[in-house]
Amino acid sequence: MASRTNIARLTRQNVLRSVHNVQNPPVSSRAYSALALTSQRALLRPQRPVQFTRVQSPEFKLSLLDRKQTRHYGPSRLPPRLLRAFSYHLLDTADTIVKVPEMAESITEGTLKQFSKQVGDFVERDEEIATIETDKIDVAVNAPESGTIKELLVSEEDTVTVGQPIVKLEPGSGGEAAEKPKHEPAPEKKEEKTEASPSKPETKEAAPSKPEPVKEKQPERPKPTEPRKEAEPSTPAQAGGREERRVKMNRMRLRIAERLKQSQNTAASLTTFNEVDMSSLMEFRKLYKDDVLKKTGVKLGFMSAFSRACVLAMKDLPAVNASIEGPNGGDTIVYRDYVDISVAVATEKGLVTPVVRNAEGMDLVGIEKAIADLGKKARDNKLTIEDMAGGTFTISNGGVFGSLMGTPIINLPQTAVLGLHAIKERPVVVNGKVEVRPMMYLALTYDHRLLDGREAVTFLVKVYPRSRPSRNTD
C-alpha cells in the first residue's frame, strides 16, 4: 500500500531515488515523464520542496523505458525522445491544450508565424489563436472551446510539428476575465488627473519668479539655426551609404527555391517557342464577353481559351499529360485520362499553383469561373491544401506583368508547362502583305526524358488553332 500513497514534500537529496522506486502498480510513460521532469526542476531549485502525487494508470504500462533501465536513468540523462516528450506531457489536466492541427499528408511541420491572442485574452470557440506558415499555405489554429489563454507553450518563429501543444487554454466564460481590466485602468486614469491638477498652479506661481532667464534664452535661439544649414548637405551623403539588409526566407519561398532547383536537377528541360496571331481570339472575346457576363457573371479571359485548347491537344498527344515515376529517377510512365491544370498565381509571399480539376469535362465558361475563384482565394490567402495538391499540367501567364518572352520551369512531377506572354502589335506578313497584328509568343518547356521534340512542337502548334472556340463556347 506504500506505493499507492502520495510522495510528500521531497527534498533535493531523495527526489530522484523516490521517483524511480515507485513502480507498483506500473506507471504510464506520460505519468513518468511528468514526474521525472518535476524532479529535474526540483534539482534546479534545491531550496524549494516539491509535492508529488502518485498517478496510477493500470491499463497502461511503461513503454518508452524498461523497468530495469528506469532505475538507472536520472532526469538529466533520459533518452532524447523522452526529454522531448516532457514539454508535451507536463500539462494540467484541468486546462484545454490546443495542438497543431493536421494539415496534409505531405506537411508535418511549419513555422508559428504569429499569435493572434496573448496570455490573459479571452477567446470564443473556433476563434483564431495563431497562424502557422507552411511551405504551401498558412494554417489557422482555432480555439476548440471558449476560455482564457493561460500560457503560450511556444514562441513566434518556432518550428512546430503536427500534434504539438502550443497553447494552454483555461475553459470558461469571458465574464470574469472581462471584469478585471474594467477596474484596473479606472484608478490609473483618476490618479493621472489628480496628479496633473496640483501641478498646474505650481507652474503658474513659478512663472513670474523667473522672467529674466526666459528673455536670455530667446537671443540664443537663432544661433543653432546656423549649424542646421551646415548639417543639411551632410545628410544626403549619409543616405547614400552602402547598407545591407538581411531577411530570413519564409517557408513558401524556401519551398519554391527547393522545388525549382530540384526540377532543374532532375528533368531534361527544353523550351520550344511559337508566335501566334491573337486577332480572332480577341474578336471572339469582344463579341461574347458582355453576354457571358450577364448570363453567368464570369468575365471571359484568355487563360480559359488556352486551357481548353491544351485539353483538346492532349487527346492527340497524351504524353504531355503524363509523368515519370519510380526509383532512380523513374522507370515508369503514368498516363492519365483526366487533366488537372495548375494555374500559376502570383501572391505577396510567392508563386502558387492552385489546380483546376477535371478540366477535360468543363466548357470555356466553367474553366474561366474555376480560374477566377482560385485566383481570388489565392490573393485573399484562403487556399486550402486540397486546392494546391496534384496537377498534371501547368499554365503560367507572364503576359499580365508585361513579359515578352520567357522559359518557364517544369513543376515536377509534371512533364510540361505552357507560358503565355504579352500581346504586342507587330508587323507580320499576311497573304503577301505586311499588316500590323496583335501577336503573342507561346513557350512550352517540356521534359525531354519523356517528350521528343516532334511531340512537343506538334502539341504547341495544335494549341492555338484550338484556342479559338466556336460560338457556343463549347
Q: Per-residue pLDDT tens for 200-221? A: 444 444 444 444 554 444 545 5
Residue 265, H or E segment = helix 251-266
Which of 150, 53, 40 lies closest to 94 in space, CA to CA?
Answer: 150
Residues, the chain, total?
474
User: Considering the domain 92-180, what is its CATH architecture?
Assistant: Beta Barrel (2.40)
Q: Residue 299 above 70 pLDDT? A: yes
Cell of 112: 508559428
> Do 393 and 314 contact (CB within 8 A), yes or no?
yes
**448 catalytically annotated:** yes
Out of 331, 387, 448, 474, the active site residue is: 448
Question: Is the per-residue pLDDT at 153 higher than 50?
Answer: yes
pTM of the model: 0.59
**Mean pLDDT on 404-421:** 94
**In the prediction, which pLDDT does 241 show?**
80
| CATH 3.30.559.10 residue ranges for the chain | 252-467
CA distance 221 to 211: 17
Task: Tell me if 137 sits within 8 A of 377, measured CB to CB.
Answer: no
Spatial separation of the C-alpha atoms in residues 282 and 142, rounded to whole Å = 47
Q: Where does residue 204 rank: exposed (0-12), middle (13-18), buried (19+ CB within 10 A)? A: exposed
Q: Which of 98-102, 145-149, 231-235, 372-376 has the weakest average pLDDT?
A: 231-235
Residues of the chain with CATH 2.40.50.100: 92-180
Q: To 10 degrees, the CA torsion angle through 157, 162, 164, 169?
A: 90
Catalytic residue among 95, 126, 452, 474: 452
Q: Confidence band (pLDDT; 50, 70, 90) for 382?
A: confident
In sign, the C-alpha dihedral spanning 182, 187, 190, 191 is negative
Alpha carbons within 13 A on the beta-carbon side of 386 = 1
In contact, 34 and 65? CB cutoff 8 Å = no
Please report the pLDDT score of residue 428 as a whole number: 93
Spell out the long-range contacts of 22-26 with Cβ–Cβ below 8 A and sequence spacing 24 or more.
22/54, 23/67, 23/70, 25/56, 25/58, 26/57, 26/58, 26/60, 26/61, 26/62, 26/67
CA-based nearest residue to 117, from 148, 91, 158, 96 = 148
**Relative orientation angle of helices 279-296 and 302-316, to the nearest 10 degrees:** 110
Q: Distance between CA 422 and CA 115 in Å, rounded?
A: 42
- Least confident range from 182-196, 250-264, 294-308: namely 182-196
Check pLDDT > 80 for residue 63: no
Judge whether residue 181 has pLDDT over 80: no
pLDDT (0 to 100) of residue 103:
76
Q: Average pLDDT for residues 25-34, to the nearest whole number?
A: 45
- Identify the DSSP state of 241: S
Is the bond preceding residue 413 a cis peptide, omega within 30 degrees? yes
Which residue type does 444 have? Answer: L
The CATH class of 252-467 is alpha beta
Within 13 Å of residue 212, how many CA atoms lie on the same side as its CB?
A: 1
Cell numbers representing residue 339 in the block: 487533366
Cβ–Cβ under 8 Å, residues 305 and 281: yes
* Residues near 279 by beta carbon (within 8 Å), at least 6 away in sequence: 437, 438
Give the position of cell 495563431: 130
What's residue 467's pLDDT? 63
- What pLDDT is attached to residue 111? 86
Residue 406: burial class (beta carbons within 10 Å; 0-12, 13-18, 19+): middle
Over range 263-289, report the average pLDDT.
92
Interior angle at CA 135, CA 414 and CA 386, nearest 5: 60
